Structure 1
Amino acid sequence: MTDAAPASRRPWAYAIFLIIAGASGWWASFQLTLDKFAILEHPKTALNCNISPFVQCGTNLNSPQGSAFGFPNPIIGLGGFAAVIAVGVTLLAGARVANWYSWIFNLGVAGALAFVIWLIGQSAYVLGTLCPWCALVYLVMFPLFWIVTLRNAAHGVFGAAITPAGRALLPWAVPIAIVCLITVGLIFQLQLDVLHHL
């Protein structure tokens, strides 16, 4: 990191977005972590997120997919979304970051989205449930990925050759994310008829 940039150059809207997105994802991960603790303490406990047999988080938390790396997935969220908040606060404070820093952050966000897409498939097609707190993570991750990636492209993080495309696509980041989220919603609706089971 270099010295603080003038306040007028601070990407305050982007920084605030990262903080809000990170906090939302962290809160969902925290709630899932509490639910996992509750299940470990009392396996038959009724979780607040268990709305119906098809809309619940208990099945997801107790499944092998819920501990894909040998420990509960929400722990990944606690650390990962805290990092998103930290980056947002860093930018809001006026710090400028090197390209390699943005590269690593983007790579982490892309990896997180890939994991989330895998979990969406497992939840919809294998477990047959929609986890409410997981749905909040979905709502966060798609906008987070597209806004971070296209902003980095527009600001030359991936090289000058990609910058024009990044600048052209950046205004479309939110619409693209909305299309992705609608697609996810349709997958769950067509597979589980979620609206009927709320």
Structure 2
Amino acid sequence: MSATEVQAPRDRGFAIFTIILGAIGLFAAFELATEYMKTLQQPDYIANCELSVLVTCGPNMDSPQGSVFGFSNTILGLMAFVAPIAVGVAMLAGARFSAWFWWLYRAGLALGTFFIFWLFSHSVFTLGTLCPWCMVVWTVMIPLFFFTAFRPEARGYYKASPGLTKAFAAVNSWAWVLVLVSYLVIAAVAQFQLNWFAEFSR
């Protein structure tokens, strides 16, 4: 190993955390996909996420927002959540990724996070529903992004400049705050728009 290279820590905790979140997201996407296919096969089928007028996934799956790219968004979830699982498993095996990989991976997570916030806004303001399995996806995407966004430089996964490492380490220490704030914003917006607390307190 040359003097310019660094031996990044294996970071087992983060790897396991990433695998668990990816697996949860994959399961939620799988449930949405299977329920969507059942509704296509049986028009009178009641999906397992149809809990009430407010807490339901039917309107979301049938809406234009549910098929943004011309096919069900569930297919995106089935493909995308394989990535964090693969990254976590590779890290556990001792894999080290180049800088370009981490930037590309985080760009994908950023796009996914932007997408779920966009879907949340349409779910609340346009459709007036809270989709249970969609909320599971939102819940895992947010920490997947924020706990990964600044970590590679902060934890020395690859050789970065001292200034970038210091700056990212400072922001990375606040990742849990960013996750919590995101959850609170989603909960507050949903409450003010849909009064979900009254629905869940019945």
TM over 0.5: yes
Residues 26 and 81, structure 2, Cα contact 8 Å, conserved in 1: yes
- Which amino acid is 2:167 matched to? A
Deviations 1:3-34 (A, max 9, x none): xx98x931111111110110010011000001
Give 1:194's match in structure 2, choosing from 196, 199, 202.
196
Return the TM-score normalized by structure 1: 0.92
Aligned-pair identity (%)? 41
Q: Give the superposition deviation at 1:155.
A: 4.2
Gaps of 5+ in 2: 1-5
Q: Give the superposition deviation at 1:179.
A: 1.1
Residues 152 and 158, structure 1, Cα contact 8 Å, conserved in 2: no
- Which amino acid is 2:168 matched to? G
- Which amino acid is 1:75 matched to? I
Deviations 1:84-139 (A, max 9, x none): 10011011111111111111110100010111111011101001100000101111
Q: Which residue of 1 aligns with 2:3?
A: none
Matches within 5 A, 1:65-104: 65-104=65-104
CA distance in 2, matches of 1:137, 1:70: 20
Q: Which residue of 2 aligns with 1:111?
A: 111
Matches within 5 A, 1:9-158: 9-155=9-155
Residues 35 and 47, structure 1, Cα contact 8 Å, conserved in 2: yes
Residues 29 and 74, structure 2, Cα contact 8 Å, conserved in 1: yes
Gaps of 5+ in 1: none
Return the TM-score normalized by structure 2: 0.90
Residues 26 and 78, structure 1, Cα contact 8 Å, conserved in 2: yes
Q: Which residue of 2 aligns with 1:176?
A: 178
Alignment coverage as a number of residue pairs: 193
Cα RMSD of the aligned pairs, angstroms, is 1.9
- Which amino acid is 2:39 matched to? I
CA distance in 2, matches of 1:175, 1:146: 9
